[in-house]
Amino acid sequence: MATPDPDAAGDRRCSDGPRRVLFVEPVAHRGGAEVVLLDLILEMDRRRFLPYAALLDQGPLAEEARQAGATVECFPGHRVRNVVATARAVRWLCRLVREWSIDLVHTQGTKTHLYGGLVRLLTGVPEVWHLYDEPPEPPSWIDRVTTRIPFDHAIFISEAPRRGFCKLMAVDRSTMVHPGVKPATPVDPGAIEQVLAGLGLPMAVPLILQISRLQAFKGHEHLIRAADLVRRRHPEARVLMVGGTLFGLEEEYPDRLRRLIVELGLERTVMMAGELPDTAVAALLEHCRCLCYAEVRGPYSLVILEAMARGKPVVAARTDGSELIVDHGATGTLVPPADPGTLGAALVEILDRPDLARSLGEAGFSRWQQKFSVDTMVTRTQEVYSSLLGR
């Protein structure tokens, strides 16, 4: 158990020191929302706010949050339908709020508000509810339940979740905060060569890269079919898909993709690399000709921003998220979702026209700097905290 700071006792609302923010996170493995969490923990102004984190599962994210500077505790993973375990988790969170003298609870994602909202009611500590995903149609039972629990302020990452949740509940106070990414870390050419060699690829290979977890809505099948056109026009090019399954979802999907690759005779063109270390992903982003993002639905994409931060052109299916980030024709190319023919043609154009790829990448870099930095994300999030805490 992490030990609270010795100066934490006393009435938290009378303290002149930094206010204490408790992040409640539903998982303990890194995904897009967890990258946002780690950046908030690392970059928040310690003169004003101190980060604490309660993870409703056990895994590597706990140590990453500690390394970013948060005091962290974990609760054993469980299903929300397990009423006894959920009640114990709520009681555990209430204890942390008291022991750590927490001033504000920041809940990450939809189901976590079930816990954070009850903690708010039981302790009187205000809650910020951070919403990343658009609710499904029809809404799930957890969406129907959580939208009936009061909260103090909602943060939406884009218009898609705001639009979806405003159909289910009244939102009196909300703020749109687009997640940002940090400046790209330079990658040594030798490191790039080493990563490519580990994958059996030469430095000269024209590389199209997709980075995403393996789920059907991420559009890998459409990219594989698009790769058939790429092969015919640029037989030397390779399409590399980085990522694996996560959270136990669609574990049969990778085998389905492998069968499709064989069925289309694309074994030399399309590669599935699985999960790779962050350093290897950075090297591949630095080397690739373009990032492809074939996702057919989604409110946002951090990996698109990571490519733009490296000056890489982006070819993406048109979704709420990609349309927000990519300025079509200026910083990248947007194509209809689930349309392998148009996707393949756009990828071929990037390979055919290095001048176009360069200009799109340069414009994308400028757009990232102006609109999607981590500094802007942290500043706007802290403004929400201040609006509730008066500082």
Model pLDDT, residue 16: 74
* DSSP one-letter string for 213-228: -S-GGG-HHHHHHHHH
**Would you state the structure tokens that stand for residue 106, as one six-digit string?**
């920041």
Q: Please indicate whether the domains covering 6-180+373-389 and 189-371 agree at the CATH topology level.
A: yes
At 7, the pLDDT band (50, 70, 90 cuts) reads: very low
Please state the CATH superfamily assignment of the domain spanning residues 189-371 in this structure. Answer: Glycogen Phosphorylase B; (3.40.50.2000)
Round the average pLDDT of the chain to a whole number and report it. 94
In 113-245, which ranges are E strands? 127-131, 153-156, 174-176, 207-211, 238-242
Please state, in angstroms and rounded to a whole number, the distance separating the CA atoms of residues 380 and 377. Answer: 5
Length of the chain: 391
Dump strand ranges (E) for the chain: 19-25, 49-55, 71-74, 104-108, 127-131, 153-156, 174-176, 207-211, 238-242, 270-274, 290-293, 314-317, 332-335
The CATH architecture annotation of domain 6-180+373-389 reads 3-Layer(aba) Sandwich (3.40)
Which 8-state DSSP code applies to residue 149? S
What mean pLDDT comes out for the span 155-171? 95
Supply 298's token pair.
């989604």
* pLDDT surpassing 90 at residue 391: no
Residue ranges of the domains in the chain? 6-180+373-389, 189-371
- Contacts of 78-82 with CB under 8 Å at 24 or more apart are 80/111, 80/114, 80/142
- Rounded to the nearest 5 degrees, what angle is found at the Cα of 290, between the Cα atoms of 237 and 211? 95
Torsion of CA 144, 150, 155, 159, to 10 degrees: 40
| 243: confidence class by pLDDT, cuts 50, 70, 90 | very high
Q: CA–CA separation, 337 vs 102, rounded Å?
A: 44
Q: What is the CA angle 271-276-281, rounded to 5?
A: 90
Which one has a higher pLDDT value, 122 or 5? Answer: 122
pLDDT of residue 246 exceeding 90, the answer is no
Cis ω for the linkage preceding 189 (within 30 of 0): no
